[in-house]
Chain A
Amino acid sequence: MSVQYQAITWSRQKKVYDVLLASGAAGFLGLFVAAGAVTHPEATAETLLIRALGTCAFVMLHLILCIGPLCRLDKRFLPLLYNRRHMGVTMFLTAAAHGVFSIIQFHSSGDENPLVSLLSSNTRVNSLSAFPFQQLGLLALLILFLMAATSHDFWLHTLTPPVWKRLHMLVYAAYGLLVAHVAFGALQSAASVWPAVLTGAGLTIVAGLHLAAGIHERRRDSPLPARTHDGFVAACEFDAIPEGRATVAMIGAERVAIFKHEGKPYAISNVCAHQNGPLGEGRTIDGCVTCPWHGYQFRPDTGMSPPPFQDRVPAYRCRVDSGKVWVHPQPVRHDG
């Protein structure tokens, strides 16, 4: 079984990514603590560390959430996406350190179990100014833990990609909880409005990029009307597809990537079996459609990964008629 996970080894790019990631996080923490100590010499070290860890994790989460839509808008951002899971796990560890230090600082050495204290010392959910923000952070941390713990491809295969993807969509719930955690916590006691303005700007950028990427993709989908012939649907102009590349078209309710490979059309699902990457933005390499996100490969005619891999995406029958590619909306069944 393990053979499936050996395809992506610790490549040079992955190593460079990890080194940059680790030094970026360490640099952020160091700079934050140094800036805090210089501008507020009366602040205690624990406070600076807790703030640095929380801020670092929150900034990293913004970066993580922006990389996806940035890649959909411009493929040149793909190197940032390739190893995003390591950034996710680093972000979780940073957030967890923030949580653990906060629990020690605010809840330990008292007359109550620290976890009980965390859940019980503020129950003012009906008040805006006193709203319990720490529990929001705890909830977000639990979600991030679930995601970090299942981030390996083992879990992707065990849980199946749709379930895994749905689980990992919870990152948006975690983000929402963390915005509230910051708003009801740090922002309420900040001395200036600028941290609130920055948090708002972060939220706007994340939402705006997702919106822009959605609009961009919708525009790029082939605009041909759904004309049918023999059950086949007109998908796109054949000549408009560059060799080795694809055009994406809506066929029924599915986004289908129509590739031109060695002068012939092939149609497979646009959704990669790995993590739903956009196969239509990939290209054929060694006769296989190669996903732009992490390089999973699929045969254009069957949608199957080359042996020994067993991943597959739906493949569709298609043909060229009067300059157009016609695709049958019913995926072909390939058994075995």
Chain B
Amino acid sequence: MTDEFYVGYVPRQTAAQARFTRTAVTVAALLAAGLAWTLAAWRAPFDNSRFEFGVYRDYTGTLAAHPVPSLLAEGQRILLVAEGKHGANSLAARFDQRNVGIRGALIEHDGIRMLEILPSIEPLGGPVVAPREQDLGSVTLTGEIADSKCHLGVMNPGRGKVHRDCAVRCLSGGVPATFLARDETGARRILLLTGARPPLDHVAEPVTITGRLTRWDQLTTLRAESIEPVRE
């Protein structure tokens, strides 16, 4: 037994003790640094999405309140949501099938665009543009329900287990739902869920949806007839 004895309240450790402490602290620091870097790098998945937070752009076009609030501007259908975890349903209902000017921050994922709009919508004149819709038939797909606002870019990742509670809050607040599914070729597809609000208990977990696919300008919507959780 060495007769060195550490007492914390004396100003200095003995030389041998100080050497040991320095080594221990250095090892701990290196280990922590390695962990910080590795865990940050491993913690995927992230989507290729974006949200222009605080950047507001002006859009004009024909507003449609149904099946979900959207604006048809220069041939492209842009989804509309309100600020926070809220949908734009009540705001959009006042301007259904009218031409309007809107300000909002852009959210974008895989070519699907959404605007987080400011509450001041300006009514405009001019001819109303009708949507191009095409029935694509009945499908049964397995995937995950998320809220469109986060999923399309406000949060990244805006889906999956960790994001689940947030998706519940957004859907409960009237944000339209998305369905992230794989089609028959195995490719990932983001579908816009229409109809009744999906069951909040099965958000962010595997579900099988049977319903009708519709082409709605450049978006694809799925009107669910049944939503079944995939058994664990």
Contacts and interface: CB of A to CB of B under 8 A. Distances in A.
Whether chain B is bound by chain A comes out as yes
Interface in A28-71: 28, 31-36, 39-40, 42-44, 46-48, 51-52, 55-56, 59, 63
Given A31-B33, A40-B44, A42-B47, 6 more contacts: A76-B21, A76-B24, A110-B85, A129-B205, A184-B161, A194-B38
Interface stretch (A287-295, A306-314, A319-327): A287-295
Interface residues of B, number: 62
Contact of A295 (B9, B36, B232): B9
Nearest to B12: A12
A110 B157 CA distance: 19
B85 A185 contact: no
B5 A107 contact: no
A82 B155 contact: no
Contact of B169 (A51, A111, A244): A111
Contact of B164 (A52, A122, A191, A245): A122
A226 interface: no
Contacts of A83: 8
B157 A109 contact: no
A204 interface: no
Interface string B43-80: 11111111100000000000000000000000000000
Given A12-B12, A189-B157, A24 B37 contact: no
In the A-B complex, the 8 residue pairs with the smallest Cβ-Cβ separation, listed nearest first, are: A109-B84, A82-B8, A35-B40, A110-B85, A191-B44, A110-B169, A106-B166, A36-B40
A285 B6 contact: no
A194 B43 CA distance: 10
Contacts, number: 205
A264 interface: no
A38 B161 CA distance: 24
Contact of A80 (B10, B24, B35, B84): B24
A275 interface: no
Given A106-B163, A109-B85, A189-B160, A24 B9 contact: no
Given A27-B33, A32-B36, A44-B156, A290 B8 contact: no
B126 to A, nearest CB: 34
Contact of A59 (B35, B46, B174): B35
A260 interface: no
